[in-house]
Structure 1
Amino acid sequence: MHILVTGACGFKGSVLVPKLVERGHRVRAFDIQWFGNFLRPHPALDVVKGDVRDAAAIDLADIDAIIHLSSVANDPCGDLDPKLTWEISCLATMQLADRAKRAGVRRFIYASSGSVYGVSDAEQVTEDLELFPLSEYNKTKMCAERILLSYKDDMVVQIVRPATVCGYSPRMRLDVSVNMLAMQALDRGEITVFGGEQTRPNIHIDDITDLYIFLLEHPQHAGVFNAGFENLAIREIAEKVAAAVPAEIKVTPSNDPRSYRINSDRLLATGFRPKKTVNDAINELVGLYRQGVLKNEDHFYNLRWMQAGKTS
């Protein structure tokens, strides 16, 4: 297949694209590269630097499938510039979907977010639950989902609502819970937990990228899928980190009320199975840090990098 991956140089894209190439696919990797490009050259890989808001800049010639990862990632970054967030995460998605239909693209896989559920006391949050997005980021994801589902008669639309992704990527992110707490423990021997009782689902980066490939290879599974396999309180994650890296845990108040447990039975019914855990992610990060491969660098924190004006 010839696959367009947007946001290809990001946290997930930097792991996904090499896997696609290894499986014999041709990949057009489209990314604005605010945080750099960590993709290794390959004859089957065409890396294009461009802005997803410029619809005409995205070449859809001969594209069989789109994996749309591009967005302003996480709540604080989305709230930093709401207009930019809506332009990238929602309006650009609408333009891309329309152009994909006109170009005859038959497959569209979209990376939404499990955070579209907002705060939920439900014991099991399934795909049929009403959405209550709290932030600009969550709202744009919900909006983009609804836009894409309107094209389900024109192409195979597969929407993934991932849990918080953990683990190592060449374009690392140290502002997601497991990775952030692990780096705190490694870098300063102390873990700061805000609140701690909020429950969040988690998924290893190898599993989420394998899932996109699984869906690519199984077009019969269309629709919306939760993707998260360990629902853990933030305090529990900190304790798992402290078990691997001796560190003091300090708990402080939090103004982030998001708490939810997602149920991924619909995804499991397709035959997909996760292979890694939060503990695997922690142990891998510890090993890479001690080898000097993983470092605490500013461009691994999306908000910090954007606030410093490095994305303009």
Structure 2
Amino acid sequence: MKILVTGACGYKGTVLVPKLLSCGHQVVALDTQWFGNFLPEHENLTVVLGDVIKTHEIDLTGIEAIIHLASIANDPTGDLNPKVTWETSCLATMVLADRAKRAGIKRFIYASSGSVYGVKEEDQVTEDLELLPISEYNKTKMVSERVLLSYQDDMTVQIVRPATVCGLSPRMRLDVSVNLLTMAALTNGKVTVFGGAQVRPNIHMQDITDVYLFLLDNPQHTGIFNAGFENISILDIAKMVSEKLDVPIEVTGSSDPRSYRVNSDRLLAAGFTPRFTVADAIDEIVVAFQSGKLKDEPHFHNLKWMQKKELV
């Protein structure tokens, strides 16, 4: 299958694309490459330096499926320039979906976000609960979902609401909770927690990329799927890191109210089985850092890098 992957050079894309190639697919990898290009060369891989905002420039010739990962990722970066966030994370999705329909593409897998639920008190946050997004990033994801669902009669639409991803990637991110806390412990000798009571769902990098492969192989499963298998408070994550590295925890205040627990029974019922844990992510980050394979690079922090390079 010939697959267009947008945002292919990002945190998830850099792990997903090699998996697609190993399955025998042809991949067209579209990315602005703001944070670099860590994809391996491969005879079935075409890397295109491009921006999804310029959707009309994307060549859809021969494309059979789209895995749409591209967006201005996470709340702080989305707030840097709301106009660019809406153009990149929403308008581009709308136009790409319309072009896909006109081109006869029958598969569209979309990376939404578990954060579309906003602040929830329910113990079981399922896919049918009301969405109350509280940031530009969340709002663009919600609107994009609604747009894509309107194309269900024209193509197979599969929407993933991932939890916070953790674990290694060649295009690492050190600004997501598990990775951030682990790297802080490794470099500062302590774990600083802002708030700590906030509960966040988590999913390992290997599992979330396998979710996309699972959906690609199972077009009969359509609609929206939560993807997160460990609902853990930020403080409890810090405790796991602290115990692993024998470092103290420092707790300070936080203005971030986001707290939610996702239920992924729908994805499990479809037949997907997760294989990795937060503890695995912590372990592999520690090993990579201590062996010199992972460093605290500036371009592994989205917000700081985008501000420094004035990317939006």
TM range (shorter): over 0.9
* Distance in 2, Cα, partners of 1:248 & 1:140: 38
| Equivalence for 1:243 | 243
* Distance in 2, Cα, partners of 1:236 & 1:172: 23
Displacement of 1:310 in angstroms is 5.2
* Distance in 2, Cα, partners of 1:237 & 1:286: 14
| Equivalence for 1:73 | 73
Q: In structure 2, what residue type is equivalent to 1:52?
A: V
Deviation per CA, 1:201-241, whole angstroms, max 9, x where unpaired?
A: 00000000000000000000000000000000000000111
Q: In structure 2, what residue type is equivalent to 1:156?
A: T
C-alpha contact (below 8 Å) 1:114/1:161 kept by paired residues? yes
**Secondary structure of the structure 1 residue equivalent to 2:19:** helix
* Distance in 2, Cα, partners of 1:245 & 1:2: 44
C-alpha contact (below 8 Å) 1:228/1:262 kept by paired residues? yes
Displacement of 1:309 in angstroms is 2.0
**Secondary structure of the structure 2 residue equivalent to 1:193:** strand
Q: Name the TM-score, length of structure 2 as normaliser.
A: 0.99
**Secondary structure of the structure 2 residue equivalent to 1:54:** helix
Q: In structure 1, what residue type is equivalent to 2:21?
A: V
| Equivalence for 1:260 | 260
| Equivalence for 2:275 | 275
Deviation per CA, 1:172-218, whole angstroms, max 9, x where unpaired?
A: 00000000000000011111101000000000000000000000000
Displacement of 1:243 in angstroms is 1.4
**Secondary structure of the structure 1 residue equivalent to 2:309:** coil
Matched pairs, number: 312
* Distance in 2, Cα, partners of 1:29 & 1:104: 20
Structure 1 residue 173 corresponds to structure 2 residue 173:
yes
* Distance in 2, Cα, partners of 1:191 & 1:103: 50
| Equivalence for 1:311 | 311
Structure 1 residue 103 corresponds to structure 2 residue 107:
no
C-alpha contact (below 8 Å) 1:34/1:310 kept by paired residues? no
Displacement of 1:248 in angstroms is 1.4
Displacement of 1:311 in angstroms is 2.9
**Secondary structure of the structure 1 residue equivalent to 2:185:** helix
Q: In structure 1, what residue type is equivalent to 2:102?
A: R
Q: In structure 1, what residue type is equivalent to 2:216?
A: L
Deviation per CA, 1:138-193, whole angstroms, max 9, x where unpaired?
A: 00000000000000000000000000000000000000000000000001111110
* Distance in 2, Cα, partners of 1:195 & 1:19: 37
| Equivalence for 2:226 | 226
| Equivalence for 1:41 | 41
| Equivalence for 1:112 | 112
Displacement of 1:40 in angstroms is 0.8
Identity %: 68
* Distance in 1, Cα, partners of 2:115 & 2:267: 17
* Distance in 2, Cα, partners of 1:2 & 1:22: 13
Q: In structure 2, what residue type is equivalent to 1:72?
A: I
| Equivalence for 2:61 | 61
| Equivalence for 2:287 | 287
Superposition RMSD in Å: 0.7
* Distance in 2, Cα, partners of 1:94 & 1:172: 28
| Equivalence for 1:94 | 94
* Distance in 2, Cα, partners of 1:50 & 1:310: 17
Task: Give 5+ residue unaligned stretches, structure 2.
Answer: none
C-alpha contact (below 8 Å) 1:5/1:30 kept by paired residues? yes
| Equivalence for 1:15 | 15
* Distance in 1, Cα, partners of 2:87 & 2:214: 29
* Distance in 2, Cα, partners of 1:145 & 1:102: 19
| Equivalence for 2:186 | 186
* Distance in 1, Cα, partners of 2:206 & 2:310: 28
**Secondary structure of the structure 1 residue equivalent to 2:52:** coil
| Equivalence for 1:209 | 209
Q: Name the TM-score, length of structure 1 as normaliser.
A: 0.99
* Distance in 2, Cα, partners of 1:246 & 1:147: 48
Displacement of 1:304 in angstroms is 0.1
* Distance in 2, Cα, partners of 1:180 & 1:246: 16
C-alpha contact (below 8 Å) 1:35/1:311 kept by paired residues? no
**Secondary structure of the structure 2 residue equivalent to 1:124:** coil
Deviation per CA, 1:65-92, whole angstroms, max 9, x where unpaired?
A: 0000000000000011101100000000
C-alpha contact (below 8 Å) 1:238/1:249 kept by paired residues? yes
Displacement of 1:94 in angstroms is 0.3
| Equivalence for 1:199 | 199
* Distance in 2, Cα, partners of 1:309 & 1:27: 29
* Distance in 1, Cα, partners of 2:192 & 2:217: 41
* Distance in 2, Cα, partners of 1:219 & 1:231: 28
